[in-house]
Structure formats: C-alpha cells, structure tokens
Amino acid sequence: MTREYTTIVLHIAADRTKDFEALFERDELKRWEDYTGRGRFLEARLIRCRYSALQSDGIQDYVLHVVTADEHAHHEHDEDPGFKDYNERADEFQPEEPTVTFGDLVFERKANEEKRPRDKRR
C-alpha cells in the first residue's frame, strides 16, 4: 500500500479561532493520538497560516496536513463516528467550504534529525 498525503485548508471565521482551536484540541487531537499510536497516521499537523492566498477578509486559514499509512486509513478516520460528530461541530466555524487535496508523494527531502531545530509547541 502507498502512503496518502492529505492537505486541507480550513477557512475559519477569524473571530472564532480560539473556540475552533479549543474544539480541535479537545475533540480531534485525541483521535490523532489514537491514529498515530496505531500507525494509521504517520504524521498529522494543524498549522495556523500567517499568510494564505486563499484567505478572504474575516477568515483565518489553517492547513491540516496528514500523511496516512494508506488510503484505507484516511477513509477509516473519515468514517469514525467521533470524527463525524467533531466535523459537524467544526463546520459551524467555517463560513466557506474547505479546500481539499490528497495524493501521492513525487519528491521529498528532509534534513537530518540532528540538524532540525526543535519545535517547542505541542
């Protein structure tokens, strides 16, 4: 099976970002712990954009980037009843539909682990 690379740009109402992040941390982050712990997600990150060409006035964009073990892991997550419940509540923060892409890796380069700066965030 081939890994799947998913990138989703969430368009969150700028005045609701703290509530969105709290919901994500409370409800989706624990699911990520489960999926990464079982090797279904190999990498998962939520990034608050400092710049986004897709971002409209009154919107704060976030990039959700997930590398799954295979396409089945992606579908497993999307069909998870807990995720469906979370996603329905998260939709309330999104006045615009998300921009979704997924596909296969073509090229990649990574720095050696010892040369990478440590991120002190979660």
Q: How many domains does the chain divide into?
A: 1
For helices 81-91 and 71-79, the axis angle rounded to 10 degrees is 70
Say which CATH number the domain at 78 has.
3.30.70.100
Question: pTM above 0.75?
Answer: yes
Query: For residue 119, is it within any domain?
Result: no
Structural domain boundaries enclosing 94? 4-105
Q: How confident is the model at residue 81 (pLDDT cuts 50, 70, 90)?
A: very high
Across 44-48, 83-87, 93-97, 117-121, least confident range: 117-121
Query: For residue 116, is it within any domain?
Result: no
Structure tokens at 83: 């995720």
- Give residue 66's pLDDT: 97
113 vs 3: which has the higher pLDDT? 3
Query: For residue 114, is it within any domain?
Result: no
Query: For residue 122, is it within any domain?
Result: no
- Give residue 62's pLDDT: 98
Q: What is the pLDDT of residues 44-70, one digit of tens each?
A: 999 999 999 998 999 999 999 999 999
CA–CA separation, 35 and 73 (whole Å): 8
Give the mean pLDDT of 103-119.
81
Query: For residue 120, is it within any domain?
Result: no
Asked if 4 contacts 103 with a C-beta cutoff of 8 angstroms, the reply is yes
Query: For residue 94, is it within any domain?
Result: yes
Asked if the model's pLDDT at residue 9 lies above 70, the reply is: yes
Q: Provide the mean pLDDT of the chain.
A: 93
